Amino acid sequence: MAWEYILFNKPYGVLSQFTDPQQTSHPTLKEFIPLPDIYPVGRLDRDSEGLLLLTSNGRLQNRLCDPQFAHPRTYWAQVEHIPDAEALQHLRGGVVIRGYRTRPAQVSLLSCPPRLPPRVPPIRYRKHIPTAWVEMVLREGRNRQVRRMTAAVGFPTLRLVRVAIAHLALDDLQPGQWRHLSPAEIHQLASLTRLPL
């Protein structure tokens, strides 16, 4: 059986699932991806954007969603104000959110805003409050983790984009677009997960 492996750039406001059992009227993956029997590996909350990996391979999905399999996920977060060195170091060492200390993370302040398509709708700008972009590489995927981490150190997230999952990168994939993984990407994924793909 040939498994499907695709990357999708999830737009803001889209649910990371194919159905909406609560009937919230938010768009779902079904409106963008016309493939049967394919499921997201992990999730992005409705307010977040960026890279989703989807597959029909249940073993791969289980492996990548297992908390013990700590593969890197890279996020760009636009935050209120400009984090100082102390806040960045706090994020790197782990912060306590909901009684849990996050694992150490790679965190850096981006020197300039990343080149991203405009968000629809745009974030709310405040004339007298500067913003900054932070890159965070996490090896765990708890619910709304980046947002809770930046808020815990006093810099709330305004916009959040996942730009990479391990070696898989968003690159030029536009919001709402998807593509199949290349043979080289599948080979790297097999090496990473130690699964025959």
- Which residues are annotated as catalytic? 45
Angle of CA points 163, 167, 169, to nearest 5° = 30
Beta bridge partners of 173: none
The residue among 114, 117, 112 whose CA lies nearest residue 76 is: 114
Can you tell me the distance from the alpha carbon of 171 to that of 127, in angstroms, rounded to the nearest whole number?
A: 31
Can you tell me the distance from the alpha carbon of 6 to that of 79, in angstroms, rounded to the nearest whole number?
A: 30
Q: Are strands 157-165 and 49-55 parallel, antiparallel or unpaired?
A: parallel
Q: Hey, how many other C-beta atoms are within 10 angstroms of the C-beta on 129?
A: 10
Structure tokens at 86: 């102390």
Beta bridge partners of 7: 53, 179
